Amino acid sequence: MALAPEALDQIESHPVDVLVIGAGGAGIRAAIEAKAAGASVGLVCKSLFGKAHTVMAEGGVAAALGHVDPEDKWQTHFRDTMVGGKLLNNPRMAELHAQESPDRVQELEAWGAVFDRTRDGRILQRPFGGHSHPRLAHVGDRTGLEMIRTLQDRAVALGIDVYMECTITRLITGGGAAGAGRGVVGAFGYWRTTGAPVTFPAKAVVLATGGIGKAYTVTSNSWEYSGDGHALAYSVGADLIDMEFVQFHPTGMVWPPGVRGLLVTEAVRGEGGILRNKDGKRFMWDYLPEDRRGEYAATDEEAAKWVTAQSQGRVTDARRPPELSTRDNVSRAIYTEVREGRGSPHGGVFLDISYLPAEHVRRKLPSMYDQFKELADVDITKGPMEVGPTTHYVMGGVRVDAETGASTVAGLFAAGEVAGGMHGANRLGGNSLSDLLVFGARTGAGAAAHAARTAAQPYLDPVQVRDAARELAAPLERGSGEDPYAIQHDLQDAMQRLVGIFRIERDLQDAIAELAKLKARWPGVAVAGGRIFNPGWNLVFELRNLLVVSEAITRSALQRTESRGAHSRIDHPETDQAGWGGRNSVVRRRGDGTMEVTTTSLPDMPDELRLLLGGAH
Amino acid sequence: MSESTAIIEVRPGAAAAPATEAAGATPARLRVFRGEPGSQAHYDEFDVPVEEGMVVLDALHWIQANGAPDLAVRWNCKAAKCGSCGAEVNGKPRLTCKTRLSDFDPAEPIVVEPMRTFPLIRDLVTDVSWNYAVNRSLEPFTPPADVPQSDWRWQQEDIERVQEFRKCIECFLCQDVCHVLRNHETDKPFMGPRFLVRTAGLEMHPIDQADRRRYLKDVGGVGYCNITKCCTEVCPEHIKITDNAIIPLKERVADEFYDPIQWVWRKVRGRPDAPLRTELPMLPSAPAAPVAAARGDGESAAPMAAAEPALPTPPKRASTRPKRPRRRSDAGDETPSEG
């Protein structure tokens, strides 16, 4: 049924100071901070509360606590993050992240989190790829669950209003104060459980919607990762940056087919897992970048010595195994081994931890043990796993102010994976959970401060609300038309084939053409059934968002004619420091609705930070 | 129960797999519950082509993409980490993402139904918001005010039990299987195994200072559990709910309130009982209307407000719930059948 204009004032409405969209780690942390600052807060999520993608995080949260290695300081964490990000990170964000993550982790403990312990009873830290010191606070291999449950409990204790199973489909803009431009003044959405529309007039809106993995066929991400926040921000004219940088995690499951892409935590390698090809060769020795080779063990023996020391919680002078190279590098190595015919039976490579005592493996990697046992009939204490790259994380996102999380549009903020800048061209494992905490808190505070400065109670433009309500109802009313599942399938297929780990101009041009066709099909999409918990209908709006982010990824990838971090161009294999160093891609919506892609210069790095990088820049 | 008179109506699904598509493997036949409040429920049957290693949730996704795009299924991670996809498969509460099709006899249809303890929203999706309301009534983690965090030191062996409880993914299968909740056996509320596990995780935390024993006894209804261990059997995280959480909590309550020496000692000391954050709730006189409750809050205006004064009673299934065909195997059973 079409929503008559006179019915507009009957739409359920929840005015708040700060609306947080997304209840993963960043969203809940932002809500907690905004609430603590005195704002009224609404926290909206597409799933049940506590089910967000953060629960999937396994390995740990990176923070230079210095509990295992007292040499680890924020300065070393900063350096590792910048080097891992190929110096394309926003240096101020990387600085704040390294400085504040220890406090944010300790704070979780004060709110009830129970991390694994060192022998002297403090929070234990494990090594991870690209981190020069053991740095990841963890709970076995279910760190994300611990984090989200702790934040969830804290939010409940503070009395934050949570709106579960609610999808936001549109941001509403308003005239705002003189000079403020058309800022964001609220959001429109619907209850997934009833299909009824709902609005949230808000003085500030925080996007904390996570990533974009569902643009690809093989991904570690759940259905929720449809780039909602990226697309919402884009729709109101906010800048997106670095969208070409999509992280392909080196180790996803490759078999059985139903779980292809499911994450195999990097902690397997952190605990000593060895990668081998079908000939039994430990191939990572061949793929270490020359300029970093000195950071890695020289021999199997040295790597084994490191693993032994690590499993006993000792500091050692042995260097780390080659498997702990950065994710972009390990992914390319595995992809190359498979492409050149040295892969495992199901199209991956072997990852082996079974040489360590079974009891130790089960204690440190309990979810991995269960996951392989129950889903693949593989006992990882007895034999190797088969693994291959899987779409995991997008480094790019909404361009934000490092201090407050403010986007380039008034009233709109972003934190967590949906925000860009923190991780540059490649994210280190463990830096995502700490990112969520540090910038979740900062953005919650920033949004609350913005709300406090905004005197007027927001009023939602009825024309925009009516249009959003019509758009929502249209797929149910068309009767017949395009099948959203079919469009999604074609989209994922195109992105997987043409905009994957290795890219080339011809493929990217083809992808842009295919995306244009898919975009043209979307307005004719039709779904059967009613409004109550109708997954086909729900998919329609996620699909719209995926089309936007896919185009942004592809156009940014086409523009960047070099290889850097997670972005590898076959036709431009070198890193072009003179041409592309310090340049971020920017994606923005033009007035006519087309997509503009340009570049901008990275913010200047103060000398004291530059010194920390030593010879790395 | 009037439901026992409902007639099983089985309709062939719109998307029976053509025989050629399923060549090489016998297709699995799924018999899936369909319905929403106010409608006559029925079962749709689908023949789904089987791939190696396939789980029930894969089959449900295949059905959605091949003819029943509106089949309501709640799921997220597909990796047994989020606890969203709980349903009853051949009468047993399971996570559909880790229930392999190969575990079943290919000659028989695999029956997939929603969790029966909670009000139905549609098809396989139920309204679990009552659980969130129970959670809000618990006393949160309470660290000592006088010990700085820099002095906190816990050994790994001191926290392993608490870590076991914190593995819970809140799938609510234990709540679903618990006969006290499932059959609405009590006149007063019962918090259920999930929240006994959560309470145990708080009570056994090395530095938590709160005392939840009176809550357990008077509000949460720990005494209603008669340790049949059904919850432990269905826990996908293999938490020993009964042995490690519920029985120790029952012992703590018994020591505090039923041990005569403790009783006399309390009288001598004259120590007043710790104030309760919550009070005993009244049973709701009418069940929550499923559509309103489905919003995730149970009340339209105050979603998940924290200042919930009392533990609500789980909404009873009522006439608004569609008539539910009963399986022969569970007629008269208190707990779901093993079959």
For B150-173, write each residue's pLDDT tens digit.
999 999 999 999 999 999 999 999
Hey, is A96 helix, strand or coil? helix
A287 with A381, same domain: the answer is yes
B7 lies in some domain: yes
Rounded distance between C-alpha atoms, residue A102 and residue B90, angstroms: 48
Those of residues 169-228 in A touching chain B at CB distance below 8 A are 191, 193-194, 222-224
Q: What is the pLDDT of residue B67?
A: 80
Q: Could you tell me the CA-to-CA distances from B299 to A193, A606, B188, B305 in Å, in that order?
A: 14, 53, 21, 10
Of A167, A146, A158, A166, residue with least CA distance to A50: A146
B332 lies in some domain: no
B336 lies in some domain: no
Q: Could you tell me if B42 and B24 are in contact, meaning their C-beta atoms sit under 8 angstroms apart? A: no
The 10s digit of each residue's pLDDT in B33-49 is: 999 998 889 999 999 99
Q: Kindly give the pairing relationship between strand A385-394 and strand A349-352.
A: antiparallel
B108 with B143, same domain: the answer is no
Give the model's confidence band at B2: pLDDT under 50 very low, under 70 low, under 90 confident, else very high.
very low
The 10s digit of each residue's pLDDT in A388-442 is: 999 999 999 999 999 999 999 999 999 999 999 999 999 999 999 999 999 999 9
A186 with A263, same domain: the answer is no
B26 lies in some domain: yes
Q: What φ, ψ does residue A187 adopt, rounded to 5°? A: -145, 155
Average confidence (pLDDT) over A320-343: 94
Q: What is the pLDDT of residue B12?
A: 67
A9 lies in some domain: no
| B217 contact A CB<8A | no
CATH value at residue A264: 3.90.700.10
How many domains are contained in chain A?
A: 2
Rounded to the nearest 5 degrees, what angle is found at the Cα of A88, between the Cα atoms of A83 and A94? 70
Residue B301 has pLDDT above 60, yes or no: no
B334 lies in some domain: no
B154 with B103, same domain: the answer is no
The 10s digit of each residue's pLDDT in B122-134 is: 999 999 999 999 9
B163 with B233, same domain: the answer is yes
The 10s digit of each residue's pLDDT in A97-121 is: 999 999 999 999 999 999 999 999 9
Of B94, B126, B158, the domain-final residue: B126
Q: What is the pLDDT of residue A418?
A: 98
Per CB-CB distance under 8 Å, the chain A contacts of B54 are 256-258
Rounded distance between C-alpha atoms, residue A137 and residue A105, angstroms: 8
Q: How far is B260 from chain A (nearest CA, A)?
A: 34
A322 with A445, same domain: the answer is no
Per CB-CB distance under 8 Å, the chain A contacts of B57 are 258
A337 lies in some domain: yes
A163 with A298, same domain: the answer is no
Rounded distance between C-alpha atoms, residue A27 and residue A21, angstroms: 7
Residue B15 has pLDDT above 80, yes or no: no
Rounded distance between C-alpha atoms, residue A207 and residue A434, angstroms: 17
B120 with B154, same domain: the answer is no
Rounded distance between C-alpha atoms, residue A366 and residue A374, angstroms: 12
Residue B76 is nearest to which of A51, A142, A489, comparing CB atoms?
A51
Residue A177 has pLDDT above 50, yes or no: no
| A161 contact B CB<8A | yes
B268 with B299, same domain: the answer is yes
pTM of the model: 0.91
Look up residue B218 and give its two tokens.
Answer: 């008077």
Rounded distance between C-alpha atoms, residue A414 and residue A394, angstroms: 14
Q: Could you tell me the CA-to-CA distances from A306 to A9, A353, A360, B178 in Å, in that order?
A: 66, 14, 16, 48
CATH value at residue B80: 3.10.20.30
Of A339, A374, A391, the domain-final residue: A391
Of A357, A391, A425, the domain-final residue: A391
For B217, the domain range is 129-314
Identify the closest residue of chain B to A154 by CA–CA distance.
B140
A371 with A285, same domain: the answer is yes
Rounded to the nearest 5 degrees, what angle is found at the Cα of A311, between the Cα atoms of A308 and A314? 80
| A56 contact B CB<8A | yes
Those of residues 388-427 in A touching chain B at CB distance below 8 A are none
The 10s digit of each residue's pLDDT in B169-210 is: 999 999 999 999 998 888 889 999 999 999 999 999 999 999
Q: What is the pLDDT of residue A616?
A: 64
Q: Could you tell me if B168 and B237 are in contact, meaning their C-beta atoms sit under 8 angstroms apart? A: yes
- Tell me the CB-side half-sphere exposure of residue A530, using CA atoms within 13 A: 9
A136 with A157, same domain: the answer is yes
Give the N- to C-terminal CA distance of chain A in Å, as an integer: 60
Q: What φ, ψ does residue A494 adopt, rounded to 5°? A: -65, -45
Pairwise CB contact (< 8 Å): B81 & A145? yes
B184 with B201, same domain: the answer is yes
A48 with A170, same domain: the answer is yes
Burial of A449 (0-12, 13-18, 19+ CB in 10 A): middle
Per CB-CB distance under 8 Å, the chain A contacts of B321 are none
Of A463, A478, A493, the domain-final residue: A463
Of B126, B147, B166, the domain-final residue: B126
CATH value at residue A204: 3.50.50.60
Residues of A involved in catalysis: 249, 269
Average confidence (pLDDT) over B236-240: 96
For A104, the domain range is 25-245+395-463
Identify the closest residue of chain B to A117 by CA–CA distance.
B156
The 10s digit of each residue's pLDDT in A194-211 is: 999 999 999 999 999 999
Q: What is the pLDDT of residue B38?
A: 86
A474 lies in some domain: no
Residue A162 is nearest to which of B83, B155, B304, comparing CB atoms?
B304
B180 with B309, same domain: the answer is yes
B165 with B98, same domain: the answer is no
A295 with A359, same domain: the answer is yes
Those of residues 261-290 in A touching chain B at CB distance below 8 A are 262-263
What percent of chain A is predicted at pLDDT more than 90? 89
Q: What is the pLDDT of residue B18?
A: 43
Residue B53 is nearest to which of A50, A258, A485, comparing CB atoms?
A258
Pairwise CB contact (< 8 Å): B305 & A193? no
A174 with A138, same domain: the answer is yes
Q: How far is B55 from chain A (nearest CA, A)?
A: 7
Residue A114 is nearest to which of B64, B136, B163, comparing CB atoms?
B163
Rounded distance between C-alpha atoms, residue A126 and residue A104, angstroms: 18
What percent of chain A is predicted at pLDDT more than 70? 97
B338 lies in some domain: no
B330 lies in some domain: no
**Helices (H) and strands (E) in chain A — how many of each?**
17, 21
The 10s digit of each residue's pLDDT in A254-274 is: 999 888 999 999 999 999 999
Those of residues 57-116 in A touching chain B at CB distance below 8 A are 106, 109-112, 114, 116
How many domains are contained in chain B?
A: 2
Look up residue A474 and give its two tokens.
Answer: 């249209």
Pairwise CB contact (< 8 Å): B74 & A53? no
| B152 contact A CB<8A | yes
Give the model's confidence band at B58: pLDDT under 50 very low, under 70 low, under 90 confident, else very high.
very high
Rounded distance between C-alpha atoms, residue A197 and residue A537, angstroms: 14
Residue A570 has pLDDT above 90, yes or no: yes
Q: Encode burial over A184-223: b for 16+ CB neighbours within 10 A, e otherwise.
A: bbbbbbbbbbbbbbbbbbbbbbbbbbbbbbbbbbbbbbbb
CATH value at residue B245: 1.10.1060.10
Residue B332 has pLDDT above 50, yes or no: no
Burial of A294 (0-12, 13-18, 19+ CB in 10 A): exposed
A131 with A80, same domain: the answer is yes
ipTM confidence = 0.92
Q: Which of A65, A142, A218, A532 to mutate to test the interface with B (most CBs of B within 10 A)?
A: A532
A344 with A201, same domain: the answer is no
B54 with B144, same domain: the answer is no
B24 with B71, same domain: the answer is yes
A422 with A315, same domain: the answer is no
B157 with B298, same domain: the answer is yes
Q: What is the pLDDT of residue B235?
A: 98
B148 with B265, same domain: the answer is yes
